[in-house]
Amino acid sequence: MIQKVSHIGIAVNSIEQASKLYTDVLGLKVTETETVPDQKVKIAIIPVGDTRIELLESTDPEGPIAKHIASRGEGLHHIAFQVDDIRASLEAMQKNDIPLIDKTPRVGGGHALIAFIHPKATKALIELTQPAH
């Protein structure tokens, strides 16, 4: 089911400002940026070993990241686990009465299939991700 921690999503007001800590202070590099129109978000990808940090900047004041920042402030948004079969993982969650935000996968950054588990079940927002092949 879970293969590894794929990434840690951090909600920020400005990728340009937030990335300075990671690049100038921690010596990491932003390797790519991507806009995901369906999710109203711009993503900056910062590899760290076998995982990555994703800085998430809203592209719309009504987008989910903007709403998250308005209610909780900037900071940790979610932890993403890479799975080998996202549909089977979601089916297993449903069979165990785990509340889901997404009952079916949708397309996320890098064209990966993604789905979120409701934080009521996990005490943190968890994303499942299956890389595009």
pLDDT in the model for residue 104 = 97
> pLDDT tens across 64-114, in order?
999 999 999 999 999 999 999 999 999 999 999 999 999 999 999 889 999
Report whether CATH 3.10.180.10 matches the domain 2-130: yes
- The reported pTM is 0.92
**3 state DSSP class of 40:** coil
How long, in residues, is the chain? 133
Nearest CA to 32 out of 18, 47, 17, 14 is that of: 47
Which whole-number Å values give the CA distances from 23 to 16, 40, 47, 61, 77, in the listed order? 10, 25, 11, 27, 20
As a whole number, the mean pLDDT across the chain is: 96
Q: Are strands 2-12 and 51-58 parallel, antiparallel or unpaired?
A: parallel
Q: Provide the total of helices (H) and of strands (E) in the chain, helices listed first.
A: 4, 8
Quick count: other Cβ atoms within 10 Å of Cβ 62? 8
